[in-house]
Amino acid sequence: MIRALAPHELDEVGAVLGLARLYQGDGFYLVDWERGAPRGHAHLALGEIPEIQDLEVLEAYRGRGVGTSLVEAAEAWCAMTRRTHVAVTVSENNPRARALYERLGYVATGDPPRRVRGTIVLRTGPIEVDDVLVRLEKRLAT
């Protein structure tokens, strides 16, 4: 079952999944649950074009459709709120993630890949980044 993260679930989910964007202020987390335990999450940032961020699936559940279900739940929320597109930014060094999104109908926007270098501070702390990111989008059925 997938539902929006509730305040009383923060400690339980945060103990096993990062919740790096929890207090970002522009969206919410969707969490996939099985038998009362979280299996994965995705943050949906609510900009002009909503963007799926911080998709994470516990290792024991990878390859079982949890990531696909989270992306589809984010798309369903976007469609329900009359959004016409949803986006995601993926690392060029993460072919598995890119393949997931492309299989689900996401395509490159045509924007040039963007190199990100330096320290990024998230709720979970600072991380050093040196990566090349590609933006993908999907047009939702209206």
Closest C-alpha to 34, from 58, 10, 6, 63: 58
By the 10 Å C-beta count (0-12 exposed, 13-18 middle, 19+ buried), 85 is classed as middle
Tokens of 80: 């329900």
More confidently predicted of 50 and 121: 50
Which pLDDT score, from 0 to 100, does residue 142 have?
67
68-124 pLDDT tens trace: 999 999 999 999 999 999 999 999 989 999 999 999 999 999 999 999 898 877 767
- Percent of the chain with pLDDT strictly greater than 70: 99
Q: Say whether pLDDT at 127 is over 90.
A: no
Q: What is the model's pTM?
A: 0.91
Show the 3-state SS of the chain: CEEECCHHHHHHHHCCCCCCCCCCCCEEEEEEEECCEEEEEEEEECCCCCEEEEEEECHHHCCCCHHHHHHHHHHHHHHHCCCCEEEEEEECCCHHHHHHHHHCCCEECCCCCEEEEEEEEECCEEEEEEEEEEEEEEECCC
Q: Where are the domains of the chain?
A: 2-139
Record: fold of 2-139: Aminopeptidase (3.40.630)
